[in-house]
Amino acid sequence: MSLPVPSANSQASERLAQKILAGECVVAGVLSGTSADGIDVVLFRPSPVAGGQFEWNPIAFETLPFAVDLAAEVRHVLDGGAIDLARLAHLNRDLGEAFGRAIKQVADGCGETVDLVGSHGQTVWHHDGVGERGRASLQLGDGDFVAEVSGAAVVSDFRQRDLAAGGEGAPIGHLVDPWLFPKLPLPGAILNLGGFGNLTLLGDAGVLASFDTGPAGALLDGISRTCLGQEMDSGGEQAARGTCCEQLFAQWMGELEPFLSTPPPRSTGRDSFGALWVQSLLQRANGTPPCDLLATGVAVVAATVARSLADLTLCDLPTELVVAGGGARNPELLRAIAKATSLPVVSSACHGVAPDEREALVFGLLAVAHVLEIPLPVKNDSVRTPTGAKLGRLLGKLSPAPLVEIG
């Protein structure tokens, strides 16, 4: 029996791998984070360097707004609104098409053709690790629709393999943090502040730990939307005018104690600390000025980061805390974290990674690892990843680029 002729898709994958290794591949990373404030798209060219790592040459980065109707639908789901199966299926399709259009818009704007996409999608549900039914996570924005609209090969749905291999499914940015921060003094700590905070600790043995610290933007933006009618407290301006209410601070930290007392690996999401949770906090704080609520929220986020660092026993504390994500644009929050941790707090830009681009770069690089069949983490002295997953897994599912139509 003769062997089958390699398919056009397998040949395309091989060409794509060779293009990456030659430093000629244009990669896009795309996602909408837990704050759901738009679609982040980064374009870059990766190239291999010594030590099995990759550097990247930036091309472009943009955050594009959702269409009004799609934004409302995403917000409805994130805030715990009911959704039937038909709406869920349509939202999965519509988000995939929206991600594809965003990639094409950014690429066309700078005259590039994208070869490969790493698409995280939009997280609409993530377990809290304590439910009887076990761990699960759901990201919407089907990769096949992203591929058809963008015209590129797409790797998506990264969290599922980590979950299937026994992990938390999050956070997974640590898997390529050694590539993003190759010159970070060790031990090094990277704090990503999106809807939720997550911390990566790097050491000589690679990634020593990575886990969620608790709600960040989910708390602060939730207060802002409810009390100010604004999507966020831009720059922490309202929080800076307020005063932390010690009674509320103690109550809110008490609500977080069961999560904070859970040793890593751990992750969380809006199922535990979403809109309903924020509403319950605010109902018990009736009459407190919005600026004081935001100041208290800032103190709580800072305290969860400090608590997470204090509980680590894997190595000496880092000499500085490198911050990425939307929270890096909140000076009041950064000041509070510096005070709570007694560590210098610096933007990830100081280490060559723009704060708003870090997450999109993560998923673009995870797509590169998938195509090249590089199991991550590439260096780890344990038998499992920091999320608790077994080692030696490739994350993501490949949607080939559209083939040329015949006839």
**pLDDT above 70 (res 2):** no
Percent of the chain exceeding pLDDT 90 equals: 81
Average pLDDT over residues 389-402: 95
- For 254, what's the count of Cα atoms within 13 Å in the CB-facing half-sphere? 7
Q: What is the pTM of this model?
A: 0.94
* CATH class of the domain at 182-351: alpha beta
Percent of the chain exceeding pLDDT 70 equals: 95
What pLDDT is stored for residue 314 in this prediction? 64
**pLDDT above 70 (res 285):** yes
pLDDT tens for each residue of 320-350? 999 999 999 999 999 999 999 999 999 999 9
**pLDDT above 90 (res 199):** yes
Q: Are 219 and 301 in contact (CB under 8 A)?
A: yes
Q: Are 66 and 117 in contact (CB under 8 A)?
A: no
**Alpha carbon of 364 to those of 58, 78, 87, 232: distances in Å?**
12, 24, 28, 27
What pLDDT is stored for residue 381 in this prediction? 66
Average pLDDT over residues 98-115: 98
Average pLDDT over residues 200-220: 93
Q: Which residue has the higher pLDDT, 129 or 54?
A: 54
Residue 78 buriedness (CB in 10 A; 0-12 / 13-18 / 19+): buried
Average pLDDT over residues 371-377: 91
**pLDDT above 50 (res 318):** yes
**pLDDT above 80 (res 4):** no
What pLDDT is stored for residue 404 in this prediction? 61
Can you give the residue ranges of every domain in the chain? 8-169+393-399, 182-351
**pLDDT above 90 (res 179):** yes
Report residue 407's pLDDT band, with 50, 70 and 90 as the boundaries.
Answer: very low
Average pLDDT over residues 27-50: 91
What pLDDT is stored for residue 10 in this prediction? 77
Euclidean distance between CA atoms 396 and 278, whole angstroms: 32
Residue 298's identity, in one-letter code, is V
Q: Can you spell out the DSSP letters for 111-123? A: T----EEEEEEEE
What DSSP element (H or E) covers 288?
none
What pLDDT is stored for residue 230 in this prediction? 94
Fold of 8-169+393-399: Nucleotidyltransferase; domain 5 (3.30.420)
Q: What's the count of helices (H) and strands (E) in the chain, helices before strands? A: 14, 12
Euclidean distance between CA atoms 396 and 187, whole angstroms: 29
For the chain, the maximum distance between any two Cα atoms, rounded to a whole number of angstroms, is: 79
Euclidean distance between CA atoms 63 and 89, whole angstroms: 25
Residue in 11, 30, 96 with CA at minimum distance from that of residue 367: 30
Report residue 11's pLDDT band, with 50, 70 and 90 as the boundaries.
Answer: confident
Instruction: Give me the chain's average pLDDT, please.
Output: 92
**Alpha carbon of 64 to those of 27, 75, 98, 211: distances in Å?**
18, 16, 10, 28
**pLDDT above 70 (res 6):** no
Per CATH, 8-169+393-399 and 182-351 having the same topology is answered yes
